[in-house]
Structure 1
Amino acid sequence: MTSPPAPARISSYRVEGLLGDGASAHVYRCLSSAGQAVAVKLARSVEHGPVLHREADYLSRIDSPRVPALVERGQTADGRTFLVSSLVDAVPLTAWHDFSRPLPPVIVGKLVLQLCEALGAIHAAGYAHLDLKPPNLLLARDGQLYLVDLGSAAPLLEPLPRPRGTREFMAPELYRGQPPGPATDVYGAGVLLYQLLTGRSPFFPNTVRGQFDPVAVGEDEWRRLHCSQAPTPLSRHVDGAGELGALGELVHQCLAKVPAERPETPALLGARLRVLLLS
């Protein structure tokens, strides 16, 4: 997906550079008229406006230091919607770790604990995030983690007309047409946990995750993998994986096909991680 040249301005905001791209929008680093650095998400077209309005509605109800706050929303002269949020001095998780090797469990635990805090705030506002891919996790130099991009988010326990999110991280119930609950995001966090601990995908054990192209896997195959195939045991990838013990069991519980068999909420997942890794 190619990006057009960055505009010089978006409404009253001066564009400094491109931060990222998505299916429905570009995200730019900008300066306000008062000189404040912000992130501005600009719809790719007029037709993508409702997606950004929905995201702005969700952000306005979320109160968490781990989710950048909404500043304002608006419309450009050509009718494209934009939303402005606070800018954090952080990089995508993929810029910090290439997912080609395992990370120490204590580091993984500290990252995912912060993710659980962000998810807890999003769920408290009544929404599921549904897109926990690494580019949506931003890591600051001091180790603080932030969760961005609610473009795929949806109200908890309400049916969706079609699955949302990145296929590699989508829970089985989304493919089955069931409404998302807190455990839906626990599944996505479980995929991330697995990748951080092993450097591999739960379903492609012979390929290093950093060299794996999930886009090349078709939707029907992802559906089959998430709904029917058991993840590869962590012991296949991690030296001394037996020492992980209960942690390995917890990761596989997060990846259970049935939501009721996972930790019920991110708070419960975080509590168990804290006991296992940080006590």
Structure 2
Amino acid sequence: MSEAELVVDGHELTNCIATGNVSQVWEATNTATGQSVAMKLLLPEALTDADHKRMFKHEVSVIKQLEHPNIIRYIDSTLNKKQHYYTMELFRSSNLKSLIRADLHSVHLRLRKLMECCAQAFGYMHEKGWIHKDIKPDNILMTKGSEVRVIDFSLASKGSSSMGHMMTRKKNIVIQGTRTYIAPELIRREKLTPAADIYSLGILFYETLTGRPPFMAGNPNELLMMHVRDQPDLPSSYHPNIHPEADALVMKMLSKKVKDRHESMQQVFSEVRSVKLFRQEPEEFKKAKMAKTAEEQATTVDQRLDSRADHQRTSSGAPAPPKPAPAKPKTATPAAEKPAAATPPSRAPQAAPPVPASQHQPMMPQQPMQYPPMQQPYMPQYPGAQYPM
């Protein structure tokens, strides 16, 4: 945007929060009051498309009717030929999708509060006659203090409304950005009911528990067929700390048949409050996992050091440390032999003849070897001099 475009009806756009195919969300400041708001505006190229303008007007009409602590608060809007925008409360937080990717453990610490807030927000919408139809982590905001807001009502509809029929007829609108979270009955073009939101919220719960959605495929059509055809694995098969009661909650929400799911979001809310989500508290589970990892790493280091020592000894040609020799078996002491018979005395040996005195020579003492003095290095001696020059 140019500098002139960064001011919209007395609102200075200061920071682009998100950009979509046809719209942007900006942090903006009301130049008259100084109030900071979030502004969602239709991009100029989208203003020439009648369907985009109609959907934007529809979103504004929905959010105007919703007042709930867990739904983003609407402030004002302008819809004319030059621009389409609306302002809402500025809720400084990350969306749930980015939180799951960045730190799943942190999400687990706040998971029950998150589930309760979502069930209450969508239950309120259903009471007002609206079905969100685009429930996914990208459309949930959560702060570190566990405050939650639901956003983006562009696909919201009432099952019998013309907007609802239009959205269930047009493939590009129904599945755009929602293939991972769409209910089977919407894929089969069946009647739209609040149960579709229960299914989508079940997938969101599954992802917050495990860090991944239940169905993943490289082919978009195959992904849609998995919703219709395949049974998901239990959440606990991807995360060992998930309690069986949490498995049961999510699997019921993900039932293929509408009649097998919870009857309402109020039922979901009640069950969320009563079930056990984890076998251990997330913080205790994390500490135990870290301790186990540290122990395994220490064992691995010891094994590597032993292997390295063996390798160095083999490479240098040094023999391996000798193995202790096996102890020799003790042998029995032989019995004492009988003394041999006495040998008869023989003739005494004759003495050697005496050596003449002339042959006796005194032994000369051995001369000691000459060594240089220990206090100074050995230097050769020269005639006529005592020290080298």
Could you say which residue in structure 1 is the equivalent of 2:95?
A: 92
CA distance in 2, matches of 1:103, 1:258: 33
Could you say which residue in structure 2 is the equivalent of 1:232?
A: 233
Give the conservation status (yes or no) of the 8 Å contact 2:39–2:87.
yes
Could you say which residue in structure 1 is the equivalent of 2:10?
A: 12
Could you say which residue in structure 1 is the equivalent of 2:33?
A: 34
Report whether the alignment pairs 1:142 with 2:141: no
Question: TM-score with structure 2 length normalisation?
Answer: 0.62
SS at match of 1:97: helix
Could you say which residue in structure 1 is the equivalent of 2:77?
A: 73
Instruction: Describe the superposition over 1:151-205 as per-residue Cα deviations: whole angstroms up to 9, x where unpaired.
Output: 121114553323256111111111111232211111111111111111222124x
SS at match of 1:167: coil
Amino acid paired to 1:22: G
Distance 1:99 1:89, change over 3 A: closer
Report whether the alignment pairs 1:24 with 2:22: yes
CA distance in 1, matches of 2:104, 2:184: 27
Report whether the alignment pairs 1:223 with 2:235: no
Shift of 1:106: 6.2
Q: Which runs of 5+ in 1 are unaligned?
A: 205-213
Distance 1:240 1:40, change over 3 A: closer
Instruction: Describe the superposition over 1:133-156 as per-residue Cα deviations: whole angstroms up to 9, x where unpaired.
Output: 212111123211110011121114
Instruction: Identify the match of residue 184 of structure 2 among 172, 181, 205.
Output: 172
Report whether the alignment pairs 1:259 with 2:267: no
Amino acid paired to 2:139: N
Could you say which residue in structure 1 is the equivalent of 2:387?
A: none
Distance 1:100 1:65, change over 3 A: closer
Q: Which runs of 5+ in 2 are unaligned?
A: 278-389
Instruction: Identify the match of residue 157 of structure 2 among 154, 157, 162.
Output: 154
CA distance in 1, matches of 2:239, 2:215: 15
Identity of counterpart residues, as a percentage? 23
Amino acid paired to 2:141: L
Could you say which residue in structure 2 is the equivalent of 1:192?
A: 204
SS at match of 1:153: coil
Amino acid paired to 2:256: K
Structure 1 stretch displaced more, 190-199 or 154-163: 154-163
Shift of 1:238: 1.9
Give the conservation status (yes or no) of the 8 Å contact 1:103–1:196.
no
Shift of 1:237: 1.1
Could you say which residue in structure 2 is the equivalent of 1:124?
A: 127
RMSD: 2.3
CA distance in 1, matches of 2:125, 2:77: 19
Instruction: Describe the superposition over 1:184-231 as per-residue Cα deviations: whole angstroms up to 9, x where unpaired.
Output: 111111111111111222124xxxxxxxxx7xx333112201111111
Relative contact order: is structure 1 or structure 2 higher (C-alpha 8 Å, sep ≥ 6)? 1
Shift of 1:254: 0.7
Give the conservation status (yes or no) of the 8 Å contact 2:215–2:223.
no
Instruction: Describe the superposition over 1:66-107 as per-residue Cα deviations: whole angstroms up to 9, x where unpaired.
Output: 11222221146x623111112223221233331775677663
Choose 1 or 2 for highest CA Rg: 2
Amino acid paired to 2:26: Y
Instruction: Identify the match of residue 111 of structure 1 among 103, 114, 123.
Output: 114
Task: Kindly tell me the number of residue pairs found equivalent between the two proteins.
Answer: 261
Structure 1 stretch displaced more, 50-59 or 107-116: 107-116
CA distance in 1, matches of 2:108, 2:36: 35
